[in-house]
Amino acid sequence: MDKYCLNEIDSVPIKCTQDIVISRQKGRELARKSGFSVSEQTRFATAISEITRNVLTYATEGDCHLFENNLDGYHMVIAQIVDQGPGIDNPKLAMSDGYSTGHGLGLGLPGAKRLVHELNIDSTPGKTIVEIIIKRRVYG
Ligand SMILES: Nc1ncnc2c1ncn2[C@@H]1O[C@H](COP(=O)(O)OP(=O)(O)OP(=O)(O)O)[C@@H](O)[C@H]1O
Ligand SMILES: [Mg+2]
């Protein structure tokens, strides 16, 4: 997850449900400004909603960091959603459809992964980072 030199564009503290809306809007706007299609903007924004909602449910609070990066001929927009909660016990299990330790459907993380090009989880007790990336080839 630290393989890139990231250019941070914005950051939103996640403390209440309104912050999910703000993160979603800022993610969408960054994707739009970076030239992604309306459908890609929506997919990225929806994935941000799911992951920031998990922060409120499982960790109380956190932050959503938004980045842009150019690497190996790709332009990428990245969201890293970070919290200091208990961590995701088994990230592989958490990525499977229907797994929930709460009262959800267990579709948030696997659904988010299907919406974006990459989803990475780096979680230990006290620090969880869920990173999502959308990217497109740049020529010339
Ligand atoms: N930030 C987090 N901290 C700790 N555990 C988490 C976090 N995010 C997800 N999890 C764990 O991963 C599981 C799966 O998350 P996922 O979002 O897929 O489903 P859900 O939140 O349980 O239900 P849904 O999102 O469908 O309402 C959660 O039930 C929880 O155990
Ligand atoms: Mg969820």
Two tokens at 32?
A: 């739009």
Two tokens at 93?
A: 């299990």
pLDDT the model gives residue 96: 97
**Rounded distance, CA 1 to CA 39, Å?**
26
The minimum-distance atom of ligand 1 relative to the CA of 105 is 26
pLDDT the model gives residue 92: 97
Give the CATH class of 8-137.
alpha beta
User: Does the beta carbon of 63 sit less than 6 angstroms from any atom of ligand 1?
Assistant: no
Whether 133 contacts 68, CB under 8 Å: no
Q: How many beta carbons lie within 10 A of that of residue 56, not counting itself?
A: 18
CA 73 to centroid of ligand 2, rounded, Å: 33
CA 109 to centroid of ligand 2, rounded, Å: 6
Domains of the chain, by residue range, sit at 8-137
Q: How far is CA 130 from CA 22, 35, 62, 107, in A?
A: 18, 23, 11, 15
Q: Whose CA is nearest to atom 25 of ligand 1?
A: 108
Q: From first to last of the 140 residues of the chain, give the pLDDT tens digit.
A: 655 678 999 999 999 999 999 999 999 999 999 999 999 999 999 999 999 999 999 999 999 999 999 998 999 999 999 999 999 999 999 999 999 999 999 999 999 999 999 999 999 999 999 999 999 999 86
